[in-house]
Structure 1
Amino acid sequence: MAGTGVQQERKWSIIGPGIVVAATGVGAGDLVATLVAGSNYNYTLLWAVIAGTVFKIVLVEGAGRYSLATGRTIFQGWRSLGRWTTWYFGPYIVIWGFVYGATAMLSSALPLATLLPWIPLQWWAVITGLIGFALVWWGKYPVVEKVMAVLVGIMFVTVVGAAIMTLPNLLDILAGLVPVLPEGGLITTLALAGGVGGTITLAAYGYWLREKGWSDATWMRVMRLDNAVAYVITGVFVIAMLIVGAELLFSASLAISAGDEGLLDLSTVLAERYGAVFGTVFLLGFWASSFSSLIGVWNGVSLMFADFLGTLRKLPEGDARMLGGGRYYRWYVLWLTFPPMLLVFMGRPIEVILAYGVLGSLFMPFLALTLLGLLNTDRTPREWRNRWHTNTLLAICALVFVVLGANELVKAVTGYVASVSGG
């Protein structure tokens, strides 16, 4: 058994499921949040970015370890914790997919509509959605992995290139490694630590491992290296964006828009400072970060949905309807692509957005807490259960995400009250 693992390890390449989950998790919104943190606080919150990277390494490693050690999917593990997990996850994956579909298509369309404005934004959104649909419809994981590798390469050149061109102050960067909480910046700090790379897609890691063919504990060492390398690359992306915010925006007291539009503002600033060509190249990086998230969700979360539905219907393991390219997988790909196009053209109703915000804010503490339950009991073989340091980090993750979730819940409720009062 061990010999098999060694042979497999020799054949392993650096591009694996880790790069897929990391690229999916780092979207335009994550880059903007980090950019704004750099523009507001200089390098003060660099340590929080690094902490967030460590959090995600621990969470994704936990999901991967459970899958390899038990041969079970993460949803099967959740089911073993009680029916409440199904009652949470079912509504979440349906509502989240509907709203995220529109969000991902619009985010991918923004840089394209800026580069080629003669096609309206909404139609660019439809085009990107259809391209994503075509790429993942057959459920061929190797295609997804290769597309992701190309998109990550584009992101690396543009995002890291922008950071290098600002000629960062290395002493200031080192000072940012000291944990300091800026005045009035608690939620910003927690959001930065908690927002580095993914929500529901972290739980999809085990499904991508299965699609890759990494199916048992002999792949454990490879999985851990794959995950660590991927999230180090993620950390490089967000640190680079923090540098851009600190050197380009903080030093010049420039502000950018909230949301994905902030990257359009940044491309304008980069074009003015370094020339139109680099501004255009950065827009390609913006598109790569958004489109990689779209592709990853269209594939990974559809695999989760197929497992969810098949498990509920008590289908046998390996039933074609539960696999990539199977009937249930394709149902969710359709759900992600076509109904959200209505939101693209009609605007997103406030009730749907609020429901999405509430459910979405509670997913990360759900993942952290359920991993604590799965990886400390006989649901996982003793050899692969958590050590004390992993439990400590998972507990910190859960605490951070509970605070952030409560904050998002309060914002959603007050936003709803304000919308009703205003109406």
Structure 2
Amino acid sequence: MSEATAPESTESTTDVTAVTRGTVRSYLREMGPSWIAGAIAAGPATMASLITAGALFDYALLWVVVLSAGAGALAQYLAMRLGLLTERGIVGVTEDHLGELWAWVLVLDVVIAAGVAQLVIMNTLASVSATLTGVDARAWGVLWALILLLGLAGRGYDLLELAAKVLVALAVAAFVASLFVVPIDAGTAATGLVPTLPSGGALVAAGVLGGAVHITLITMHSYTMRARGWTEREYGLATFDVGASMLVAFGIYSVAIFLVAASVLSDPDLTAVGAAEALGPLVGEHARLLFLLGLGGAAVSTLGANTVVPPFLVADKLGWETTIADARYRLLLAGFAVVSGAGAFIGGEVLGQLVLVLALGTVGTPFAIAVVLYLLNSDAVPEPNSRVANLGGIVLFAVSGTLAANFVREEVSTGVDPISGFVLAFAVVLAIAIVGLVGKYGREEVTG
């Protein structure tokens, strides 16, 4: 740990103003864990949701895009606070202070949300690879699964963090550059800052918000900070890390993609190749190639970061270490990497699948937020949340819960098929869990 981040006294360093105690230069050099969350957030599913939002509703959902960056930073801050103050993984803390049943619900919530996302993201990457090379997507799925296996199970966290920083920085730079050649109507765009939800926009809005406020991002943060050895002493650095990655980098990335899409795209039946061709005026004859490379790059960064999330939580629940030094964790990580190759056999148009994946993640997110808020106001931490942090968390819970409810209602409004039935069952189970958690907290407050 650098001298700039060392505590100046023995007093608590958990106040948010602790970020002023270090130098920006040292923070920029040492930041990292939140960028792995940023790599997942700035992935192909978010990209697909933003493009779809702009193409279908012009600038009307700009408020959701802006909200998503702030909400994502807040969610990561709360998760960061829990991880630093307990210096443990979220599953272990949940089991100790809520019970084994609640810990298993959290684990299953993450495994389902992250597992479905893994398969669809692999399908995206394999499809893009096949389009670029002419080699069958299923062969690419096997190859990418092998790369994940060797990279993550072989090199572990250090490789993942480095890749996340590089890929997110490149993605932000590419889309910011595009703003200089796209005709943005600033006046019309500003009207999109007024909260409205156009007909049929619930799924897309849930997808956009789900890119930033997602159960995988919230639950993984305690484990990535542990991998870096961060403790309460790094509170200022960790706060800066969240702000730089989620609020600034991810926020710029999201707004830039949305404004580009809202300005030049208008197609209710948008496909990945169709979007590339429509963006042709931006980069001429190479539009299709560059778009697919961008989509593939986003898939690579997200796939790698998402791969570690279920193994983190499952290993913690089973009492294993969450580093590759533990052979059991390494085997679990390798197994998840291999299984993800099955995503290449799904087939179908990837943009719609990606939006659906983020919306499904939004259904699983309110429960994770509720767990974090409960723990931050219990004896799990040495000092409870401030009123401001609690208020922000409650608003975050309400917004994500409302969008999730709208998405579920929209999914089942035309009848219950296997997909909408699964979404409904998933939502009902988690709603029951949330009600039970709120009731448990209320009883404890009343009894003292």
Q: How does 1:8-407 map to 2 (within 5 A)?
A: 11-14=26-29, 15-79=31-95, 80-96=97-113, 98-117=115-134, 119-182=135-198, 185-186=201-202, 188-196=204-212, 198-214=214-230, 216-231=231-246, 232-249=248-265, 253-257=266-270, 262-271=271-280, 274-310=283-319, 321-342=321-342, 344-345=344-345, 360-382=361-383, 385-407=384-406
How many angstroms does 1:73 deviate by? 1.6
Q: Point out the more displaced range, 240-249 or 266-275.
A: 266-275
How many angstroms does 1:209 deviate by? 1.1
Unaligned runs of 5+ in 1: 316-320, 349-355
Across the two proteins, how many residue pairs are aligned to each other? 394
Secondary structure (helix, strand or coil) at the match of 1:279 reads: helix
How many angstroms does 1:246 deviate by? 1.1
How many angstroms does 1:167 deviate by? 2.8
How many angstroms does 1:418 deviate by? 8.5
**In structure 2, distance between residues paired with 1:241 and 1:9:** 28
Q: Which residue identity does 1:416 align to in structure 2?
A: P
**In structure 1, distance between residues paired with 2:40 and 2:359:** 21
Compute the TM-score of the two structures, normalised by the length of structure 2.
0.78
Native 8 Å contact 1:92 1:359 kept in 2: no
Native 8 Å contact 1:106 1:344 kept in 2: yes
Native 8 Å contact 2:215 2:364 kept in 1: yes
| Structure 1 residues 16 and 107, CA gap change in structure 2 (3 angstroms) | same
How many angstroms does 1:203 deviate by? 1.4
**In structure 2, distance between residues paired with 1:358 and 1:51:** 16
| Structure 1 residues 227 and 342, CA gap change in structure 2 (3 angstroms) | closer
How many angstroms does 1:237 deviate by? 1.2
| Structure 1 residues 161 and 110, CA gap change in structure 2 (3 angstroms) | farther
Alignment partner, residue 429 of structure 2: none
Native 8 Å contact 2:223 2:322 kept in 1: no
How many angstroms does 1:291 deviate by? 0.8
Native 8 Å contact 1:59 1:394 kept in 2: yes
How many angstroms does 1:307 deviate by? 1.6
**In structure 2, distance between residues paired with 1:393 and 1:360:** 20
Compute the TM-score of the two structures, normalised by the length of structure 1.
0.82
Native 8 Å contact 1:56 1:197 kept in 2: yes
Native 8 Å contact 2:210 2:361 kept in 1: no
How many angstroms does 1:296 deviate by? 0.4
Native 8 Å contact 2:216 2:309 kept in 1: no
Q: Which residue identity does 1:217 align to in structure 2?
A: E
Q: Point out the more displaced range, 239-248 or 99-108.
A: 99-108
Does residue 3 (structure 1) correspond to residue 8 (structure 2)? The answer is: yes
Unaligned runs of 5+ in 2: 1-5, 14-20, 349-356, 423-448
Tell me the alpha carbon deviations over residues 200-246 of structure 1, each in whole angstroms, 9 at most, x when there is no partner: 133111111111222x2111111111101101211111111111221
How many angstroms does 1:195 deviate by? 3.5
**In structure 1, distance between residues paired with 2:335 and 2:341:** 10
Native 8 Å contact 1:69 1:381 kept in 2: yes
| Structure 1 residues 19 and 322, CA gap change in structure 2 (3 angstroms) | closer
Q: Which residue identity does 2:105 align to in structure 1?
A: Y
Tell me the alpha carbon deviations over residues 164-212 of structure 1, each in whole angstroms, 9 at most, x when there is no partner: 3213123333333333444564554454334336431331111111112
How many angstroms does 1:20 deviate by? 1.3
| Structure 1 residues 263 and 342, CA gap change in structure 2 (3 angstroms) | closer
RMSD of aligned Cα (Å):
3.1
How many angstroms does 1:156 deviate by? 2.2
Secondary structure (helix, strand or coil) at the match of 1:24 reads: helix
Native 8 Å contact 2:211 2:358 kept in 1: no
**In structure 2, distance between residues paired with 1:141 and 1:180:** 41
Native 8 Å contact 1:60 1:203 kept in 2: no
| Structure 1 residues 256 and 128, CA gap change in structure 2 (3 angstroms) | farther
**In structure 2, distance between residues paired with 1:343 and 1:157:** 29
